[in-house]
Amino acid sequence: MPLSPAIRRFALAHASIVVVPAEMLDEHGLEPEFAELLIAEGRLSAGQIDCLERGTALYWQRCRDLFARAPTSWFPPRQTNLLIISEPRGILPYMEPFTGTSSLLYASDLDTHPEYVAYALVHVDRLALLGSVRSTLVCNLSYWFDRDDASRSAFASAAASATRPDARCFTALADTFRWIDQLLHIPLREPQRDISEPYLEIVEGADLYAPKRLQPQITALCDEAESAISDAMQTTAPAAVPARSRTVDALCDWLQQTRAHVIVVAPDGTTVWSPEMNDPRWMQRALVNASDAAVASLHEDLRTIDERSRQFLERVTDVDTLPKSCAVLEFQGGTYIDPARRAVVHKLKQEVFDSLTLPAPPYFRLFLGARVMHEWGHLAHAAKFLRVPDENKPAYKEARAELGDCFLKAIAAIPAIARSTDKETAGLSLCSNHLPPILARKTLARVGDYLSNLMCSKMLPGEEMQAYVRTNVRHHFDENLGLVSELARYAYEVHYLALANLPRSYFFNTSGFVDYFIHSGIITEDNTNALFDAVGRVLACYEIDQTKLALPAQA
């Protein structure tokens, strides 16, 4: 399939980063057309692509083997949206813009060796699960048990020459090869004879044990890694150059001339700009200590919010039909809609960064545009712009009943031991006639999110839709939802994919669902697809009322 313009823009949206979309890279290598794009655009060389492909193949081979042998302490390989950083300045180490589905390498990693790349991929995968560099390094020590001298030597040599910001973390790891074979792991390396000295579990859940005498070395490894990360964060931090007057003036002039459709709130809660204000001096005061890069970035963020808000409001036939309150809107976070004022509120101090001191992280702005339109979509749904028209209601009723029956069939097939150990399913009476409607209602409880995204798919630039969907279609293993709730989430969220022209296989390949749900026997592949298809038939009954919201012509 030819690369779409949206994928090209998404992948190359930042000059110092290329994103390799998850569906473009697997254990067999890069999609040839995408590889050609990276070379043609000067983002990667043929040699770097070869190193990436070989390293990725090793990652898949080894994680698959480790997970098969030690599923309680290892994870299966998966495809991710891979960020490759060519210029680290201004980019925090281990940045994860697409939560749960992204990983990160540096272009300089691809100038080393496939062994280095393979371990770096294992490292970021584990780090995404644990959130701790110390725990990640320790839990991954068992990765090296089956690596021969050539593999270890290649990694150590590459680590010594690597230039990534946290390179010391990996050189410290290479130093462990002097004593790593003295560690034990159940079941990867069980003791071959009676143990004559005390062994201690290093990290809970890692199934990894070390002689007590090696505790200082393990502590030193972790301390060195944390020190390396701390240094990397300082060296990659953007230069704090004070804002130039012309940068601040450009922002304030734009606010005043366009009557920018956004409410800007300072860290102390003061509104420093709104569409009704005539004087931007409050914004000027808020920016007095801001950095130049931060002000320029803020300008682009506010421009995006203004454009998406106008794009929506100008297509609403009668703005007065929009409700002035909406229960499903979120009023937390850094950007949200005030329905009473019909405007987006944007805080200068965001949840993930302070826009007075730092420019927005890469891909933040693409997600910001999508987030703004998504919230407007909730308001459109509340105003019944997105609904099941009368002529579709018989089909809707039938599809909803079918969904309940399909979900019940899937639950009934869950092995008894899995049902009994899951609090949510343990109390369900599978013979109850009331259960199918309950299951259907649970699955469709957040149908407004899908409908908001349906509207987004008609209104947003393709690259913003890509960013939003890749952030919101992911696993929920770490949320303790319970089997029914987790399946319900997947059953409707998977339908976001088609709105961004992504196949269902994207979800299966990036989420770990196949390994943890299907291969484990919790649900069959047939029942999974039947459940997902049943939800799709319900969602297909909804339409956008173009007498109330005029959609742009599709390109």
Instruction: Please tell me the distance from the alpha carbon of residue 115 to that of residue 153, in angstroms, as a whole number.
Output: 9
Spatial contact of 435 and 527, defined as CB atoms under 8 Å apart: no
Give me the residues paired with residue 346 across strands: 264, 335
Spatial contact of 309 and 372, defined as CB atoms under 8 Å apart: yes
Distances (CA, A) of 213 to 198, 206, 207, 209, 219: 9, 19, 18, 12, 11
Spatial contact of 100 and 470, defined as CB atoms under 8 Å apart: no
Instruction: Please tell me the distance from the alpha carbon of residue 551 to that of residue 386, in angstroms, as a whole number.
Output: 12
Evaluated on CA atoms 204, 208, 211, 217, the torsion sign reads negative
> Which residue in this structure is represented by tokens 């039947």?
530
Reported as half-sphere exposure (CB side, CA atoms, 13 A), residue 287 has a value of 30
Enumerate long-range contacts of 207-216, CB under 8 Å, 24 or more apart. 207/70, 207/72, 207/73, 207/142, 208/73, 208/138, 208/139, 208/141, 208/142, 208/183, 208/184, 209/183, 209/184, 209/185, 210/182, 210/183, 210/184, 211/182, 214/179, 214/182, 214/183
The pLDDT value recorded for residue 555 is: 54
Whether residue 97 has a cis bond before it, omega within 30° of 0: no
Give me the residues paired with residue 273 across strands: 264
The pLDDT value recorded for residue 1 is: 57
Which of 175, 249, 160 has the alpha carbon at shortest distance from 218? 175
Task: Read off the amino acid at residue 266.
Answer: A
Q: What are phi and psi of 407, to 5 degrees?
A: -65, -40
Spatial contact of 358 and 291, defined as CB atoms under 8 Å apart: yes
What does the chain come to in residues?
555
Cβ-Cβ contacts under 8 Å for 330 (sequence gap 6 or more): 336, 375
Where b means 16+ CB within 10 Å and e means fewer, 142-181 reads: bbbeebeeebbebbbebbeebebbbbbbbbbbbbbeeebe
The pLDDT value recorded for residue 48 is: 98
The pLDDT value recorded for residue 331 is: 73
pLDDT digit of tens for each residue in the chain (555 aa)?
Answer: 579 999 999 999 999 999 999 999 999 999 999 999 999 999 999 999 999 999 999 999 999 999 999 999 999 999 999 999 999 988 888 888 998 899 999 999 999 999 999 999 999 999 998 989 999 999 999 999 999 999 999 999 999 999 999 999 999 999 999 999 999 999 999 987 777 788 989 988 889 999 999 999 999 999 999 999 999 998 888 777 777 889 999 999 999 999 999 999 999 999 999 999 988 899 999 999 899 999 999 999 999 999 999 999 999 999 999 999 888 787 777 999 999 999 999 999 998 889 998 899 999 999 999 999 999 999 999 999 999 999 999 999 999 999 999 999 999 999 887 888 788 887 777 777 789 999 999 999 999 999 999 999 999 999 999 999 999 999 998 888 899 999 999 999 999 999 999 999 999 999 999 999 999 999 999 999 999 999 999 999 999 999 999 999 875
The pLDDT value recorded for residue 416 is: 85
Instruction: Please tell me the distance from the alpha carbon of residue 111 to that of residue 91, in angstroms, as a whole number.
Output: 20
Delimit the domains of the chain by residue range.
5-181+215-234, 245-382, 387-544
Which uninterrupted H or E stretch holds 544?
strand 543-544
The pLDDT value recorded for residue 65 is: 97
